[in-house]
Amino acid sequence: MTNIEFIFEALQSDWPTERPSDTLPSRVASVDAKLCYNQSEDEFYAFLLGDINANPGGIQDRTNKSKRDIETIVSDAFLSNIKGSDLQIAIVLPEDVYDDRASQWLSPKSWYTRDRQTIVRAIRGHRRVSSVIEVTDRSHLRNMSGVLSVTGEDETRPVSGYVNLDDTDCGLFRALNGDVAMLSKGANAPTAIWNPQFDETGKVSLLRTATDRVTNVPNVCVPRFARVESLKELERFRDEVGDIILKSPFGTHGNEVIPIREDESPLQRIRAAEARIRNAIEHPSFKIYNETNNEFVFNARGWESGYGVVEEVIAGSLNRGEHSFEVLELNKADNTYPIDFVPLTVCRGGRQSETPSIMVRISTIDNLNANLHSKSMALEALPVAFEEGIDVHLNEKVPRAIEIQQEAERIAQRPVSIEELRYPLQQAGRLALLVRNQTALQIEQTLLRDK
């Protein structure tokens, strides 16, 4: 079988990490999902959203709220591409997280920094690892006569492999000159290539690939979505589907997620989000929409994207063909509080994936977005949320315990087991990992072809 034939076969595969042997699979993915009860089939389904991340977001929360050692499981996955023991590992970190000249962490209070500190600590303490080198300038990671090495001012150190925890561009691909033999000596989160120059690495491509592949995945659906370049296109899509959520194509800022109801002014909602982000990032000229040119100007890692991504809101009741769905959400006193489910899926070698952690996120305000701000959400692991409940402050001084089991049984009108909810979320996680790998493989092959 030729490499091209293998790539084509990999793109048709249902195995999440199916790749040519000389390319680098992502082995970690987390995704936001909604749970719905399919009334036609008396089963629960997951709607996989476009927030398909290749970093284990909130890994500290996952570890603290889980009975499993999530940190070790994730480090196992990241190191599974690297064979042997007594490993010397280079860890590539974002420049706004770590200063490799001063060997100092930056913005230590940021969850973005804390997550990476947690992963680095887990890899440093891994049973197969003897030493770790943190680097931020990808140009220091080089192929030196067939040996993967880290170059510094005073010395060059050979390493066994690398873990890429940077998600800012395709600099690693360039640093290793597209050498797949060197690229395959590590693990990427998200991949060696993530760049707003390439639509293939953003939400639109992730959603398109998920839509193409979801037909082979049981109990999973994908929301309707569109790539929009103007408010007219956004409004046209909203007229078709109802309430929508506007997102940055590359998700630079967590609050660049804008819910827009059917009866709201999109421009007013966008302007409010701009003001909020300007204040958060201290960027007085930040914009999402340029009225003069009538176009979106989402800014991702220094690259402007002249379009946005809109998804239909998965809420209330909805239909898909002959199927009717009731969304699992919290309804209290005429208010609706959305619930997100966030499975973390890993592959620690071979083809089989696993989902060691599923978090439940409940908005504490009446909103279309359950991930609006950390101060307005309640978070818990699925087993605890199902059996014991989540303490949620709904504009009240005393929190109330919300049991996911009770809410699931309310919409199903029958007893519901935790496995009925876990299964579709595991399938959504497997699809997310598959989508991450297939979109990355497509752009990698494009870049290799253009070398």
Average pLDDT, the chain: 83
In this prediction, residues 111-122 reach a mean pLDDT of: 90
- How far apart (Å, rounded) are the C-alpha atoms in residues 22 and 90? 20
- How far apart (Å, rounded) are the C-alpha atoms in residues 336 and 366? 5
In this prediction, residues 142-167 reach a mean pLDDT of: 85
118: confidence class by pLDDT, cuts 50, 70, 90: very high
Q: What is the pLDDT of residues 336-394, one digit of tens each?
A: 888 999 999 998 877 788 999 999 998 877 677 766 555 667 888 999 999 898 888 77
Q: What is the pLDDT of residues 170-191, one digit of tens each?
A: 667 677 776 767 777 776 644 5
The distance of Cα 267 from the centroid of its chain, to the nearest Å, equals 27
8: confidence class by pLDDT, cuts 50, 70, 90: very low
CATH, domain range 224-312: 3.30.1490
In this prediction, residues 241-267 reach a mean pLDDT of: 85
24: confidence class by pLDDT, cuts 50, 70, 90: low
- How far apart (Å, rounded) are the C-alpha atoms in residues 347 and 74? 9
User: What pLDDT is attached to residue 11?
Assistant: 47
String of b and e for 154-188 (b: at least 16 CB within 10 Å)? eeeeebbbbbbbbbbbbbbbebbebbbebbbbbbb
User: What pLDDT is attached to residue 451?
Assistant: 61
Write down the pTM of the prediction.
Answer: 0.90
Q: Which residue has the higher pLDDT, 249 or 192?
A: 249
| 448 pLDDT above the threshold of 90 | no
Residue with tokens 């001084």: 397
Q: What is the pLDDT of residues 25-46, one digit of tens each?
A: 778 889 999 999 999 999 999 9
What would you report as the CA-atom Rg of the chain, rounded to the nearest whole angstrom? 22
The domain limits of the chain are 3-32+58-198+428-450, 224-312
- Note if the bond before 56 is cis, omega within 30 degrees: no
Structure tokens at 416: 């519901």
- How far apart (Å, rounded) are the C-alpha atoms in residues 224 and 214? 13
